[in-house]
Amino acid sequence: MLKIEKNTVQETLIVPLYGRKMCAEKFPDLYADRSAKLLCESLDYDFSAQEAKKDTFFYEFGALEAAMRQLDMMWEINDYLKRHPNAAVVNLGCGLDQTGRACDNGACKIVNIDFPDIMAIREQLIPAGEREANIAADLKDHAWMDKVDGTQGAIFFAAGVFHYFKTEEVKELVLTLSERFVGGRLIFDTVGKLGLKLMMSKTLKHMGIEDIDGFFYVQNPAQALNWSEKIQVSSRGYMLGYFDMKRKGIRPAHRILAKVGDRWMKMAVNRMEF
């Protein structure tokens, strides 16, 4: 079993992973992810803190957030693969996420990208399969793009990643992708300024960051993401834009909070067509 120490970069992989595991157990009519359960069982990590909170309202909602985001990404990937079955499916900042495999149509190419220390853990737990490549790289160093074959289409997706970027860094990445992968698609989630403060302040403070103003948040995607006339931008609500969440076990109050997230915290999933 692979040991994950407390208060390390590797520990940041645990929160979304455990959230997906818990959501699959609590809300199986909405979400299925057997891989998350198997991965949690393969780690030497004390999950007691997560177990103690797993039945609380807000922890359940946090798990739903992780699950809804992955379901949204999967919807977009599957939609793109209908027209580009041999495309590259590129997970930006993959961690231990296996969305690419969940959307595998038997013909696409799966590419996972993350920092070298994160990728070292992934390689131990999830070795690259057939038609799959794991790339150890910093997303801000665009050299990794040379390793992505987009000749038959490419869909890039970033789940919970761009919150840690500065706005100009996201813009530069987007514009570079749009020039190099014409006909491709980029999917990523955003929150507004209030959402960034509420959701990310604790995490950013652990990183020694006090001021969030330079970090990437979006109040109005149609205006804020209008970076090039060559890029078509559209967005949907993060929690309720793709699925209504009316499933067994999901409380009405969860749906109310989901509406608050989408409307007031500006939680959104954005699509860019190049």
Helix or strand (DSSP H, E) at 236? strand 232-237
Nearest Cα residue to 199 out of 96, 25, 66, 97: 66
Q: What angle do CA 124, 134, 154 make, to 5 degrees?
A: 150
pTM exceeds cut of 0.95: no
Q: What is the pLDDT of residues 86-128, one digit of tens each?
A: 999 999 999 999 999 999 999 999 999 999 999 998 999 999 9
Model pLDDT, residue 2: 81
Residues spanned by the domain of 150: 2-273
Phi-psi label, residue 159: left if phi above 0, alpha if psi -120 to 50, beta otherwise: beta
Tokens 């604790």 locate to 202
Q: Is the pLDDT of residue 17 over 60?
A: yes
The span from the CA of 118 to the CA of 138, in Å, is: 11
Distance of CA 244 to the CA centre of its chain: 19
**What's the structural domain count of the chain?**
1
CATH number at residue 118: 3.40.50.150
The span from the CA of 36 to the CA of 247, in Å, is: 21
Model pLDDT, residue 119: 94
Q: What is the pLDDT of residues 39-94, one digit of tens each?
A: 999 899 999 988 999 999 998 998 899 889 999 999 999 999 999 999 999 999 99
